[in-house]
Amino acid sequence: MKNFLKTIVLAAIMLISASLTPTVARNPKLKALIISGQNNHNWQVSHRVLKLILEQSSMFEADILLTPSKGGDMRKFNPQFEEYDVVVLDYNGDRWSKATDEAFLQYVKRGGGVVVYHAADNAFADWEEFNKIIALGGWEGRNEKSGPYYYLVDGKPVLDNTAGTGGSHGAQREYPMHCRNAKHPITKGLPDGWKHGRDEMYDRMRGPANIKDLLYSGFADAKRGGSGREEPLIFTVDYGKARIFHIMLGHCGPTPENNPAMQCAGFQTLLLRGAEWAATGKVKQAVPSDFPTANECRFRMDYMPPRN
Ligand code: ZN
């Protein structure tokens, strides 16, 4: 009888505690903040496409925050960085307010996740801390004072302090990507080489060059106006506890429908894997069935990932 009573009481306690447990979503979505609003690129299209790619993966919920336009009052731009798992930078324009600079640095220094996308690495040439967050940048007056050039010779990094401007690119084209670290969570399981859709290839970038893990490089063919060097294109950045993913790919086309660099399944896959890693330190997504091969570009014309 004693045992029977004990069982009843235990069952009652379990029932009550179950009813008190709040309902938790099984797979809560990661929260991304896309920052845009000024850029020498077609930011009006790129920020919407970034949101589409992130959200169609079903992994992210992405908010967009636009800065005031050029010359506007930056005091009105106050992102709540701490509310997000990852901040995606699609911004190249006026300097933010001191308060926003400070809030961004605090978010990053506390171990925040950041994705540096394409021309976001042109921004803020004179902001020393920002340049450490991106590791390499281009244009906007960058030169030998910004830091060395970084490129590969026989697969090994060379830091080159030769004087000269930072940032250039040859003609847009399709080009092969070369994997430099197949063990990183972002690259694990992806093929060693893959062909990227028509895009710019940034070269002669300069900066503190505090690259943590170089993931992909590409050869900037001098015959097509490139540097003639093997250039770093996708990497993570060594910056304290922060998880920073820098992807130089993705020059935005005139419309979402005519945007091969961002319609490339390879670009989308790397963006998503990099964003997941920046948000969580892990990559759980499977390699998609439409990932480009070494010789063949693959495109998602409507940005829809395949149903694996
Ligand atoms: Zn571009």
* Residue linked to tokens 């895009």: 199
Tell me whether strands 168-169 and 202-203 are parallel, antiparallel or unpaired.
antiparallel
Residue of higher predicted confidence among 286 and 10: 286
List the one residue out of 92, 96, 94, 78 whose CA is nearest residue 42: 92
Please check the confidence at residue 1 and state whether its pLDDT lies above 80: no
Torsional sign, CA 71, 74, 79, 81: positive
Give the Å distance between the CA of 164 and the centre of ligand 1: 20
Mean pLDDT (whole number) for 238-243: 98
pLDDT at 9: 52
Mean pLDDT (whole number) for 243-253: 98
DSSP 136-149: -B-STT--GGG--E
Give the Å distance between the CA of 308 and the centre of ligand 1: 31
List the one residue out of 107, 113, 67, 66 whose CA is nearest residue 279: 113
pLDDT at 308: 63
Report in angstroms the alpha-carbon separations of 233 from 30, 33, 63, 225, 285. Answer: 25, 23, 26, 17, 22
Q: Per-residue pLDDT tens for 89-114?
A: 999 999 999 999 999 999 999 999 99
pLDDT at 197: 98
Give the Å distance between the CA of 11 and the centre of ligand 1: 63
8 Rama class: left (phi>0) / alpha (psi -120 to 50) / beta: alpha
Give the Å distance between the CA of 198 and the centre of ligand 1: 11
Mean pLDDT (whole number) for 253-282: 98
Mean pLDDT (whole number) for 178-182: 98
Q: Per-residue pLDDT tens for 112-127?
A: 999 999 999 999 999 9
Query: Angle at Cα 63 formed by Cα 207 and Cα 304, nearest 5°?
Result: 90
Give the Å distance between the CA of 168 and the centre of ligand 1: 10
Q: Per-residue pLDDT tens for 7-58?
A: 555 555 555 554 444 444 557 999 999 999 999 999 999 999 999 999 999 9
3 pLDDT band (50/70/90 cuts)? low
Structure tokens at 95: 């300097």
Q: Per-residue pLDDT tens for 132-156?
A: 999 999 999 999 999 999 999 999 9
Buried b (16+ CB within 10 A) or exposed e, 211-246: bbbbbbbbbbbeeebbbebbbbbbbbbebeebbbbb
Give the Å distance between the CA of 231 and the centre of ligand 1: 16
Dist. CA 194–CA 197, nearest whole Å: 10
Dist. CA 25–CA 125, nearest whole Å: 42
pLDDT at 307: 82
Give the Å distance between the CA of 199 and the centre of ligand 1: 8
Give the Å distance between the CA of 190 and the centre of ligand 1: 25
Give the Å distance between the CA of 36 and the centre of ligand 1: 15
Sequence-separated (6 or more) residues with CB below 8 Å from residue 8: none
Percent of the chain past pLDDT 90, that is, above it, reads 91
